[in-house]
Structure 1
Amino acid sequence: MEKQIKYSPYRLCAAVFALCLTVRAIEYFLLQTDRTAVGENFIHKVFGIILLAVVLKSTGLGWVGIGFKGRGAAAGILKGLLLGSVCFAAAYGLELAVFALKGAPAHLELYVSGFSLTGPLAGSTGLIPLALCLLFNIINVWMEEGVFRGLFIRVLLEAGGFMRANLIASALFGIWHVVMPIRSCVYGEMTLPQAALMSAGYILLAGIMGVKWGLLYRMTGSLWAGLGDHLMNNTVATNMLHVVSKSGADELQIIRVFAAQLISFLIVLALYRRKNRNSSLTQNNI
């Protein structure tokens, strides 16, 4: 029987986060894989999955123990995709309506492009770009859901209640995303005030998304629903389905994502509260 290491929840989370963030920064600032023919920073995500596997093995938590349960995986992912689809349908509709009211009608186009804070990137069509986009985003959501929801919330629950664990994990998830505006500032693509504003917005947006996926994790007991919703956000709304007008593409992309995530957050929060209320009533009636 293999010996399992003992750990401090906070120290373990801090160490994993620091290692992942360091490799992320190296890739964004030095390797810049997203600015090559690959078009995606995926190396730090693969590193995160490998590190997660090592941590799970050494602590004895296991993949199933953090929410990657085999049973109900397909149904959970489909529920997450459905949630994302409904909310983004509303957000896309709102975005198109804004353009129509401005007297500059826009339309939807399907092509693959990377995500940029400073303007639209060149897009491509065809099965290979679509397949690569899907593959890279599966790696992305597997790593982020596995680390930030699965590992961090599971471990931090040992040191306190769920809401505290979820808020800490979500705050780390927000900080995780400020590497992008910082790089844009360093390379002169943004001014310092713009980068600061974008960083604050990212922490808020990613934090809301993190809390929502944490609630889904708590309600379902697995990561699949959050993973499906996360995949819809990253793949379709960010990389594949674009709003194009005469003045350009995806000018309101950040607003679109924020609107969809706010709608879905309110839906999930309402479901979470209803489930807790029903559980309390059931316990009181026993």
Structure 2
Amino acid sequence: MTVLSHPDREERSSHFQQSIKVLSNRPIRLAGSFFLLALVFRVVDIFILEMNETDFGILPSKVIPIILILLYLRKTGRNISEIGIHKGSLGNNVVLGILAVLFFNGILIGGTFLTLVTLGFNSYFSIYKLDYLTYDLVFQTANAFMEEMLFRGLILVCFMSVMRPIRANILQGFVFGLWHVVWPINSYLGGLINLGAAISWSLEYVLSSMLIGLLFGYMYQRTNSLIGPIFFHFFVNLASVYVNVEPSITIVRLALGALALILTLIAIRFLTKKHQIMMADLKDTKE
């Protein structure tokens, strides 16, 4: 049974192949250039201007890459739909993103709580105060659009022009994981943690971010739309800011995160089963 209907698979597969071919005749250079540009703004925001210590936060390094990507598309005569932002199956993709985040967080947050209780811990939910909710709604919206446009809409598509989709998704997930290592480094340089803790946190951050990046990428590959991943990304980040399970135990968090990833992948595959872009259709696409 098909839970969500999408446009004809062959039509969307052809559109995805076209997107892969037209973004650039030097896809790896394009992906690397935009990643480095975004990273420069990120480093300036966090390490030089220390915007993360202000009420304004690192919003500039989220908005500027969006503008640069849009300018690139416009200058090269391309459309934003070529990186997955379009109205096709809009309602279905919104529903898919929301269902995915409810499923993922239900397993991650609920599962972590039940596991800790089973292990004998006095577990409880920690709800962060809502003083900055308005700002966070704006920030997480910009963050979700920027990171999905950059890592899935641009970098993943560029990678798929020179390698098979599964490998491309793994590689973009790894790059997405490295993107988040700035936070342990910043805490170490600020004297908040020692070197051992910084290394441990970096490994955990890279792994967890890579896994969630794989999930976003897989959803994009199945739907040829960034709408679902954007909604998924927005709500999973918002939940991670405001809802936490205490005590925080790394091995439990990683184990439940991996379980949530696997089960959500299966759920996404089921929800898009008859209408996905078949990976076989793309595996021989080369630039």
Normalising by the residue count of structure 2, what TM-score does the alignment of the two structures yield? Answer: 0.78
**CA 1:33–1:262 in 2, change beyond 3 Å: closer, same or farther?**
farther
In the TM superposition, 1:200-215 aligns within 5 A as 200-215=203-218
**CA 1:5–1:255 in 2, change beyond 3 Å: closer, same or farther?**
closer
**CA 1:266–1:96 in 2, change beyond 3 Å: closer, same or farther?**
closer
Indicate the SS of the match to 2:130: coil
Question: Is 1:13 paired with 2:13?
Answer: no
Q: Which of 240, 243, 252 is the aligned partner of 1:241?
A: 243
Question: Is 1:173 paired with 2:176?
Answer: yes
Normalising by the residue count of structure 1, what TM-score does the alignment of the two structures yield? Answer: 0.78
**CA 1:103–1:150 in 2, change beyond 3 Å: closer, same or farther?**
same
In the TM superposition, 1:155-170 aligns within 5 A as 155-170=158-173
**CA 1:234–1:257 in 2, change beyond 3 Å: closer, same or farther?**
farther
CA contact (8 A) 1:133 1:239 kept: no
Cα deviation for residue 272 of structure 1 reads 4.1
Cα deviation for residue 210 of structure 1 reads 1.5
CA contact (8 A) 1:81 1:231 kept: no
Indicate the SS of the match to 1:108: strand
1:116 aligns with none
**Paired AA for residue 195 in structure 2:** L
**CA 1:253–1:240 in 2, change beyond 3 Å: closer, same or farther?**
farther
**CA 1:97–1:167 in 2, change beyond 3 Å: closer, same or farther?**
closer
**Paired AA for residue 94 in structure 2:** I
Question: Is 1:267 paired with 2:264?
Answer: yes
Identity of aligned residues (%): 27
**Whole-Å Cα distance in 2 between the matches of residues 193 and 160 of structure 1?**
36
Q: Which of 72, 75, 89 is the aligned partner of 1:55?
A: 72
What is the total number of aligned residue pairs between the two structures?
Answer: 257
**Paired AA for residue 31 in structure 1:** L
Question: Is 1:223 paired with 2:226?
Answer: yes
The gaps in structure 2 that reach 5 residues or longer are 1-21, 282-287
Cα deviation for residue 36 of structure 1 reads 1.6
Shifted more, 50-59 versus 62-71: the winner is 50-59
1:96 aligns with 113
Greater RCO between the two (CA within 8 Å, min separation 6)? 2
